[in-house]
Structure 1
Amino acid sequence: MLEMAKIVVQQTGEEIPVMYNPTELSLNKTVMLKGHGSQIQFQRVVDDDLTLSLFFDTYEQQTDVRAKTNKIVALTQPTVGHAERREPPVLVFTWAGPLFVGMITKLDQKFTMFLSSGIPVRAELSVTFKAVLTAEEDQRAQGKFNCRQLWQVKENDRLYLIAQQALGDPNQWRLIAAANQIDDPLNFPGRTDIGRMLVIIDTHGESFNEVANA
């Protein structure tokens, strides 16, 4: 059975199938660096925009093709839940599994066939998506889980002391707690925590709030 690509609205789960699968698909990444020569430093990986070419044809049914294309056009508008921030919905393009999560930033619609009444029955859409990341995905894109330290917990350790020694800032204890799913930091370390390995992610000198809101 042919697997059809579809666009899923993340907030509601609504699925909008494409009429014909794309004939080609490019999923590209750009590595952002700074510096020159021997002083080049990694900044982050950025998902390039995804542009899809979609084809719709309702000539055989003799029906208005806009009944199908308008469902995609509507995705350029803010949703009810995002009315205050005026954000279009977050979408997932799936084809045998999720391939890209983003928002539509550009939509070109061209009608190429019409009935004698003037009703369009064939359309070509070019849809451009800009990537949207979760907080964890954004940290991964910045390489923070690759540039990490490991810390073995000792009996007299406290999160603020670990933060001071590992990151040079005792206020980063909340970042360590969040990264290691420590739910009760005031009573850390407990008996079962002794000997545990904590992951200390690279903050590049950023505060907890900067990392959490990145």
Structure 2
Amino acid sequence: MLEMAKIVVQKTGEQIPVMYNPTELSLNKTVVLLGQGSNIQFQRVEDDDLTVSLFFDTYEQQIDVRTKTDKIAALTQPTVGTADRREPPVVVFTWAGPLFTGMISKLDQKFTMFLRSGIPVRAELSVTFKRVLTPEEDQHDQGKFNCRQLWLVRENDRLYMIAQKTLGSPDQWRLIAQTNGIYNVLDFPTREDVGRTLVIIDTHGETFNEVGNV
């Protein structure tokens, strides 16, 4: 059985099927970099917009094709949110599984066939989706889960001082100790520790309260 593409409204679960599957899809990612030469730094990954061309034809049924296309057009209207801030609903374009989650940022409709009464019965739609991320996906695309800092240990260093300078809180010394296998924290730094490079995990503002827990 042929799997038909559809647009699913994320909040309500409403499904809007297409009449004919698109002939191709293009899903791209852009890596945003800062700097040049040997000093290039990763900033984030951005999903490019998804644009899909859809075809609708109701000539055989002799009915207005807008009964089909108006369901998609309605997704461009700000109907979700609060009284102070309303926005179009988040939708998922699916075809043999979810392909893209976002809002419709642009809709071009072209009607190409009409009944004698003037009722349109054929339409070509170009639908552009703007990516919408969950907070977790946004952090992932910014590479925050892969972020690390390095600290070269000096003779007068203390774990709480390193935590304050790198993570913004002296209480984060436990995280630094656990990550780097420092068990005798009262004697840190020992002679062997001086000159050692510590790995500082980015906690993204979360507080490390106990060893093994963030």
Alpha-carbon spacing, 1:172–1:49, altered in 2? closer, same or farther (3 Å): farther
CA distance in 2, matches of 1:75, 1:110: 17
- Residue 28 of structure 1 and its aligned partner are, at CA, apart by 0.4
| TM-score (structure 2 length as normaliser) | 0.73
Match of 1:112 in 2: 112
Match of 1:168 in 2: 167
- Residue 170 of structure 1 and its aligned partner are, at CA, apart by 1.3
- Residue 19 of structure 1 and its aligned partner are, at CA, apart by 0.8
Give yes or no for contact 1:34–1:43 (8 Å, CA) kept in 2. Answer: yes
Instruction: Give the unaligned 5+ runs of structure 1.
Output: 150-160, 177-198, 209-214
Give yes or no for contact 1:111–1:122 (8 Å, CA) kept in 2. Answer: yes
- Give the number of aligned pairs: 171
- Residue 168 of structure 1 and its aligned partner are, at CA, apart by 2.8
- Residue 63 of structure 1 and its aligned partner are, at CA, apart by 0.4
Give yes or no for contact 1:163–1:169 (8 Å, CA) kept in 2. Answer: no
- Deviations 1:5-54 (Å, cap 9, x if unpaired)? 11011111111011111100000000000111111100000000000100
- Deviations 1:78-134 (Å, cap 9, x if unpaired)? 114354312111111011111101111110000000011110000000011110000
Alpha-carbon spacing, 1:134–1:49, altered in 2? closer, same or farther (3 Å): same
CA distance in 2, matches of 1:171, 1:4: 56
Alpha-carbon spacing, 1:13–1:50, altered in 2? closer, same or farther (3 Å): same
Structure number with greater Rg is 2
Instruction: Give the unaligned 5+ runs of structure 2.
Output: 150-159, 176-199, 207-214
Structure 1 outlier segments of 4+, above 4 Å: none
- Check if 1:63 corresponds to 2:81: no
Alpha-carbon spacing, 1:164–1:74, altered in 2? closer, same or farther (3 Å): same
Match of 1:188 in 2: none
CA distance in 2, matches of 1:112, 1:38: 54
- Deviations 1:43-81 (Å, cap 9, x if unpaired)? 000000000100000001000000000000000001143
| TM-score (structure 1 length as normaliser) | 0.73
- Residue 148 of structure 1 and its aligned partner are, at CA, apart by 4.8
Match of 2:127 in 1: 127
- Partner amino acid, structure 2, of 1:34: L
Q: Percent identity, aligned pairs only?
A: 76
Task: Within 5 Å, give how 1:19-168 maps onto structure 2.
Answer: 19-148=19-148, 164=163, 167-168=166-167
Q: Which has the larger share of helix?
A: 1
Alpha-carbon spacing, 1:35–1:80, altered in 2? closer, same or farther (3 Å): closer
Secondary structure, in 3 states, of the residue corresponding to 2:87? Answer: coil
- Deviations 1:157-187 (Å, cap 9, x if unpaired)? xxxx6992794311896xx9xxxxxxxxxxx
